[in-house]
Amino acid sequence: MPFELTISLNVLEHLGINLYSNVPSVLSEIVANAWDADATEVRVDWDRQNGRIVIKDDGVGMTPNEVNARFLTVGYRRRDGQPGLTGRNRHPMGRKGIGKLSLFSIADRVQIETVKQGKQPSAFRMCLSDIREKINEGGGTGLYHPELVVDADIDFPHGTRITLTELHKRQTIRTTEALRKRVARRFSVVGPAHDFRVVIDGEEVQPSDRGYYDKIQYLWTYGDPSEIQRLCINQQNQEDRSGSALNAEIKVSGWLGTVAESGQLKDDDGENLNRIAIFVRGKMAQENMLDDFSERGVYASYLIGELRFDSLDTYNGKGTDKDDDAATSSRQSIVEDDPRYQKLKQFLGNELKHIQGRWAEWRTEAGTRRAMEIPAVKDWMDGLSSANKKKAAKWLGKVNRIRQDDEKDQKQLIKIAVLGFEFYRANENLEALDAIDDENLPAALEIFRELDNLEANLYGQIVHQRVKVIETLQVKVDENALEKVIQQYLFEHLWLLDPAWERAEGTEFMETRVVKMFKEVDANLTEEERRGRLDIAYRKTAGQHVIIELKRPERTVSVISELLPQVDKYRTGMQRLLDAQGNTHEPVEIVVLLGKQPTDVRDPASKDRAIQTLSIQNARIVYYDELLENAGRAYRDYFDKRKLVDKLAEVMAAIDDYAAT
């Protein structure tokens, strides 16, 4: 019997080749057809080396007449031709009759082999270029006769086998695991519970292959929660929302959940999991409904969900009430103007508001518990008054609602919460001073002592961080990264040169003038001297003007013949600028940073003379290693001399040292 396909170029291009973009979406259409054909198993084998995909199902199959009437009829409406449920009491997924055209979006050649139990088998091959040729011959619409395959080896009693060859090269799915994951995410009826197995390259697709159930921390369920509870092995809190507003009317089932860390919703294969998928009749109908909601809090970046809403498709063929098809042509999204979709959107909007509140509550409680696992934090909390303890617990809990996945940053947030609360408490103490009478001086002194301890601890934290910077720089020095690292840090962190130089003053206008002066000095340098310079900068800090010159660490210079003439030019030029501004008496210091001792300071006598000569110009030499050692010693001495033992400092250190078990 000859097979016939009548199709227009417009239909082929827009409802076939250009409607689907990847292998998972095409496989979804084929798997959906197998479901409608009452298959209990679909096997997919992708031979990437030879560019071939074979999909075989054990469904009812087709007779030659049914091939022509159903498969090769574009737009065949299964529910009209085969009304009601399938033989296995399934609600058919297909409706428009165009999913078969999706095959040509990933392959140029398609071979179909199908047989119905006890009936004549059929085998034929279709070629995309031949179809186009027939369409062109017909002036836009063509009658195409697929090629009969006379030597087909149909070795199965019933079902359909589809072989795709001459695959398009644009496919990005590289592994069986990735393909299995994509297919699993597009169906909610895959697995033994639904008597429908999908096997890809020998491995059965399981609900757990979706790859996100084990990441769920908080769960909201609609309908029977048993399956999702079994899959969400790490969930900590769950709430049944089946009886929520509107749900009794629209009958949504499924779940919404949030993960512990927002980064868990970044799939390894690049797919965004921060979404709420809508399923109709077991197949994904809308990949992400969350995009419909523009006003979203932090909680939304932790959100994922799967909702089933079969009311979007209730038509079962002739003799039943016909609804409007809510799906777009691609069957991968829903028409947003459909009133049922708007009702679903209203329902979801209400649920998201509820989830936002519960998520904030649960995250706050979890954040407090996490912080209290650190013994020093618990001791600090226990030392607070009952009223302050409740307030502090909320402070610690709220930081857990800030989107931050890195453990170090989480610790930093806990420290900030502790310090922030201490500031809050200090402010309350200051307000309490108004209530202290003249005879209650000890109470006032106690408040001042608490403020002093808080200030000391804050500075201690700054010093602690600076010591870490210095230690990091020392490592870079040992790794021969001196030039790059020193140049990067020194000019913006003058405290490395002198702890008294905390902040550079705003002198943008003056710096412009000094830069011009540097250029004038450079103009008189020899080529060798210019190559030997690493950088030069000017800052005003601690009430004096500072000129810093860095020499390359490997360069050896002479104080008398090289440094003194340059220092003199800097001082002369700087003094000229200060005189012009009427600031003649403002001090100027010049610092030269070297890697090696100058050639003329290698014996004690010449060294003393060189240092004395430089000091007359208020200039000095600092060596790279010496810089780091002196800076580190200065801040370490702060700890040694003060010997901080206040509880707040201990809490900060304990948070840094704590490692969760």
Q: Of residues 598 and 161, which shows the higher confidence score? A: 161
Residue type at 486 in one-letter notation: I
Counting DSSP H helices and E strands in the chain, the numbers are 20, 20
Region 164-187: what's the mean pLDDT?
85
Of the listed ranges 133-142, 232-241, 392-401, the least confidently predicted one is 392-401
Q: How confident is the model at residue 506 (pLDDT cuts 50, 70, 90)?
A: low
* % of the chain with per-residue pLDDT over 90: 28
Pick the CATH number of 5-202 from 3.40.50.300, 2.60.120.620, 3.30.565.10, 3.40.710.10: 3.30.565.10
pLDDT at 253 over 80: yes
Beta bridge partners of 204: 199
Q: How confident is the model at residue 550 (pLDDT cuts 50, 70, 90)?
A: confident
* % of the chain with per-residue pLDDT over 70: 72
pLDDT of residue 143: 84
The secondary structure of 16-36 as a DSSP string is IITT--SHHHHHHHHHHHHHH
pLDDT of residue 187: 95
Q: Of residues 73 and 207, which shows the higher confidence score? A: 207
pLDDT at 461 over 80: no
- In angstroms, what CA-CA distances link 353 with 220, 339, 350, 360? 13, 21, 5, 11
Q: How far is CA 138 from the centre of its chain?
A: 52
In this structure, the number of other CB atoms found within 10 A of the CB of residue 452 comes to 11
* Domain assignments of the chain as residue spans, ordered by start: 5-202, 211-365, 367-466, 480-617
The secondary structure of 485-516 as a DSSP string is HHHHHHTT-GGGT-TT---B---HHHHHHHHH
pLDDT of residue 190: 93
- How many CA atoms, within 13 angstroms, populate the side-chain half-sphere of residue 77? 10
Structure tokens at 77: 């409406």
Residue 555, classed as helix, strand or coil, is: coil
Question: Could you tell me if 37 and 117 are in contact, meaning their C-beta atoms sit under 8 angstroms apart?
Answer: no
- How many CA atoms, within 13 angstroms, populate the side-chain half-sphere of residue 105? 25
Q: How confident is the model at residue 122 (pLDDT cuts 50, 70, 90)?
A: very high
pLDDT of residue 456: 62
Residue 313, classed as helix, strand or coil, is: coil
Q: How confident is the model at residue 644 (pLDDT cuts 50, 70, 90)?
A: very low
Instruction: Provide the mean pLDDT of the chain.
Output: 80
Return all residues near 79 (Cβ < 8 A) that are at least 6 apart.
92, 94, 95, 315, 316, 317
The Cα–Cα gap between 37 and 67 comes to 13
Q: Considering only CA atoms, which of 363, 362, 353, 184 is closest in space to residue 267?
A: 184
pLDDT at 627 over 80: no
Question: Could you tell me if 395 and 417 are in contact, meaning their C-beta atoms sit under 8 angstroms apart?
Answer: yes
